[in-house]
Amino acid sequence: MNTIITVSTIMSMYMNLTTNVENSKFCYNADIENGCVKSIEVYANNGEYLKANLKRLYIYDEQNRLVKRETLKWNKKRMAWENHSCLCYNYSAEGYTVEKRFWDEASNNYGEAKEYSHYTIIMDNVIAVNEYTKDLDKGEYALVKNTLIMTPDTSKLMATE
């Protein structure tokens, strides 16, 4: 089982978000290029007009796996998108790691990850998730939570010839 964040994962998320526009508090605008979601802009919908809220930028590797998702927030005073945070995805044979980083104005770059999650594929339909937080006093990451996720085996739900 390959549990990897791909273009189809992002497209599925986008399509699920845009199905009930009339009753939604938010509206979404996606920029899709060559079958890949490059960005999604989110606008607050108060019923009369749309207000810019946030923007997500997606970067993929040569295998179309998501490697970075940046979140930008709208600064209404400056009338511009500003960096806020990013998720960085690193893949290995046994699974993947997701690091959350926040924008550091002083260095004009994303800071060091203060937390990350490691997803290990145990077997088909079973994933172990270990969550770590950085202990600022020790400068080391400490395990704070571990979870075992079991997804349903849907392979036997469809008839085969």
Query: pLDDT tens digits, residue range 88-144?
Result: 999 999 899 999 999 999 999 999 999 999 999 898 889 999 999 999 899 899 999
Check: CB of residue 36 under 8 Å from CB of residue 53.
no
Q: How confident is the model at residue 16 (pLDDT cuts 50, 70, 90)?
A: low
Q: Six-digit token pair at 54?
A: 């946030």
> What tokens does 64 get?
């179309």
- How sure is the predictor about 79, in pLDDT bands with cuts at 50, 70 and 90? very high
On whether the CB atoms of residues 7 and 64 are closer than 8 A, the answer is yes
Residue 109 host element (H or E): strand 109-110
pLDDT band at residue 67 under the 50/70/90 scheme: very high
Backbone angles phi, psi at 8, to 5 degrees: -65, -35
